[in-house]
Structure 1
Amino acid sequence: MPGLQHSVVIAAPPARVWELIVDVEHWPERIPTVDSVERLDDGPLALGSRTKLSQPKLSPAVWTVTELTDGRSYTWESKTSAVTVVASHDVEPHPDGCRLTLALTVSGALAGIGWLMSKSLTKRYVEAEAASIKAAAESSGGATRNGGG
């Protein structure tokens, strides 16, 4: 199964980073690779929660939370007829604050060719997401959009 993983150490408490990664409604303000987010359910992110995410150069996708350990990790997936993308967000304590690990796998009939076409872009997006969450968590306000990546 094609995929990638990226980790970053963040000089902030795990609770602060968790707060940022589950606050998906504010991702467009913080993460330059997210144009818009529409929550399709009320309340905090939970098992079964659905979110429509629009990103530059990608078709809008609906992501459904399939696993969630509050304060620690969540996994969500987006499915089309030929491809399933699974993305995980994991926060763990680290001597310097915490470690955020973002991982993504692709499966399905067109996963191989799709991955060949999108691997470079996906890698840049995952790295930009991690860098943006790091910048937001380490800043006092945490709501400014970071142009890096």
Structure 2
Amino acid sequence: MHFEISVDIAAAPETVWNLLKDVERWPEMTASIDRVEILDRPFGLSSRARVQQPKIPAAVWTVTAFTENETFTWESRSPGVTTTAVHDITPAPNGATVRLTLDQKGPLAPLFALLLGRLSRRYVTMEAHGLKAKAETP
């Protein structure tokens, strides 16, 4: 399964980045996240975080790529499927563009897509729009 969404945000890229990398505060931006606990501080390359979402078992995500003020990628593994999420910020004429990508690979990925694909796409969309709303709030 592959899903991608981009949103234009009328806020400085640094503002958007600071909200995006503050993963423990994501529940304040979106109902798709109940709780995030950083397991390795500071948050950056190789950090792990436990993410609890409604209707989905808690998962531990490991940061596999991290470029300050630009992007981070993290990955969660469960038997038969690896889920990768990319969070990219690029400067735009009126602020920033954020691109969120979710990919699932592995022998059970088609089953996960069938069972949770719609919910996963909904959650990523909620996260993008929640970030936009929070960043654009004075």
TM-score with structure 2 setting the length: 0.97
Amino acid at match of 1:120: R
For 2:57, the equivalent position in structure 1 comes to 59
Determine whether 1:102 maps to 2:100: yes
Counting matched residue pairs gives 138
Deviations 1:1-50 (A, max 9, x none): x211000000001101000110001111221110011110122x211000
For 2:110 and 2:72, locate their aligned partners in 1 and report how far apart those are by CA, in whole Å: 25
For 2:30, the equivalent position in structure 1 comes to 31
* Pairwise CA RMSD: 0.8
For 1:114 and 1:101, locate their aligned partners in 2 and report how far apart those are by CA, in whole Å: 22
For 1:135, the equivalent position in structure 2 comes to 133
For 1:13 and 1:77, locate their aligned partners in 2 and report how far apart those are by CA, in whole Å: 27
For 2:8, the equivalent position in structure 1 comes to 9
Deviations 1:65-100 (A, max 9, x none): 000111000000000121100000000011121100
For 2:41 and 2:91, locate their aligned partners in 1 and report how far apart those are by CA, in whole Å: 29
Q: How does 1:110-125 map to 2 (within 5 A)?
A: 110-125=108-123
Q: Helix, strand or coil for the counterpart of 1:60?
A: strand
For 1:41, the equivalent position in structure 2 comes to 40
Identity of aligned residues (%): 44
For 1:74, the equivalent position in structure 2 comes to 72
Q: Helix, strand or coil for the counterpart of 1:116?
A: helix
Divergent runs of 4+, >4 A: none
Unaligned runs of 5+ in 2: none
TM-score with structure 1 setting the length: 0.90
Q: Helix, strand or coil for the counterpart of 1:127?
A: helix
Q: Helix, strand or coil for the counterpart of 1:75?
A: strand
Unaligned runs of 5+ in 1: 141-149
